[in-house]
Amino acid sequence: SQASRGEVEIAAGTEWESEAVPWSLVKPLDKKDRPGSLPPLFKVLYDGQGGAPRLQPDSRALRYMKRLYKSYATKEGIPKSNRNPLYNTVRLFTSCAQHKRAPGDQVTGTIASVDLLFHLDRVTALERLLKSVLLFTFSNSISFHSAVKCMCNLVMKEPAFSSRNPHRAQSSLTFNSQFEITKKQKWIEVDVTAPFQPLVASDKRSIHMLVNLTCVKDQLQPPSARDRPLNVTLLVPPSLLLYLNDTSAQAHHRWYSPHYKRRPSQSAGHKRGLSACPQGEKSAEGVRPSRRRR
C-alpha cells in the first residue's frame, strides 16, 4: 500500500510537490502557496508558527495526558500495539467557565453542582467521536478508608443563546451514572458517551452542562468511620476526554497498517465487540468501504 500510495502521490505531480513543501522550514513561503487542508501539525510546520501564543493547559490535565501517552507510545514516539485500534486521537478539554450553583453537603457528601462549558473547536470534521469521558480528580491527594459509591447526574443545556432559534426554551437532557471510588484512586473516569454522541455528531462547537455528584459512604463501614464527613468538595470540576478516530489521510489507521494483524477468531470477536458500540461500527464500516474502493 505504501508503494501504491507513493505512486499515486508521484502521479499526482504538482499536488504532491505542493504537499512536499510544508517541511521546508528553511525558506518562509508566501501565503498564496499554502495548500488548504493540512492538519494542525503540518500547518504549524508550514507557517513556522510553532511559537504562536497558546493558552497554558491545566497542570493536572497535562499530567493525565502524559500518563496516557506513556501507555500508548514508546519514548521514541512509536505507537504501541496494545491499545484499542479504533481510535488514533484523544482530546482533553478543560471547562471554560465553572460556576458553583449550590454548596456541597458535607454529610451526604454531595459536591456543589458545577456549571461547565466546553468549547470543542479543535475537533475536526474528519474526527469521528467513539467515546466520551468526564475525568474527575482531587484538588489534593486524599485517600478513602474504604470504597465510596457515587452517583453522577448530568443535565445537558442548550447554550444560553442559540443563534438559530433565540426563542427556544432551554432544553435539557438528564443522564445518571453510578461508579465507585476505591482507596488512593487519583482519577475517576465517568463514561458519558450516550449523552455526548448526538451533541458532537450534530457538530456542536460548545457543550453546556450541569454536573451533580453525590457520594455516599459504604454502609458496611463501622459506625466510627461513618460519621467522618466525606469531603468530596476536594473534587476538581471535571475535564472532558474525547476518544476519536481521525479519518484524514495523514492520521495513522492502525487496522490498515501491515503491522497490526488480527487473528480470524479475534476479528470475529472484534466484529461482535463493535456491535456493543454502534458508533465505532459505523465509523469503522464507514471508513472501510471508501478505503477499499480507493
Query: Which residues would be at the binding site for other proteins (CB under 8 A)?
Result: 2-3, 6, 25, 39-41, 44, 50-58, 61-62, 65-66, 68-69, 72-73, 75-79, 88-94, 119, 121-122, 246, 249-254, 257, 259
| For other proteins, the closer CB: 19 or 218 | 19
In the DSSP assignment, the letter for residue 28 is P
| For other proteins, the closer CB: 111 or 246 | 246
Residue 241 cell numbers, joined: 476526554
Q: How far is the CB of 256 from other proteins (least distance, A)?
A: 10
- Given the C-alpha cell 514516539, which residue does it identify? 77
Query: Reduced to 3 states, what is the DSSP secondary structure of residue 195?
Result: helix
> Residue 10 burial (CB < 10 Å; 0-12/13-18/19+)?
exposed
| For other proteins, the closer CB: 115 or 127 | 127
Sheet of 114-119, strand order: 99-100, 114-119, 206-217, 148-157, 172-181
Q: How far is the CB of 100 from other proteins (least distance, A)?
A: 21
Q: How far is the CB of 251 from other proteins (least distance, A)?
A: 6
| For other proteins, the closer CB: 174 or 260 | 260
Q: How many CB atoms lie within 10 A of CB 272?
A: 8
Q: How far is the CB of 97 from other proteins (least distance, A)?
A: 13
> Is-contact 176 228, C-beta < 8 A?
no
| For other proteins, the closer CB: 49 or 162 | 49
Residue 60 CB partners (closer than 8 Å, separation 6+): 137, 236
Residue 91 cell numbers, joined: 482530546
Q: How far is the CB of 87 from other proteins (least distance, A)?
A: 9
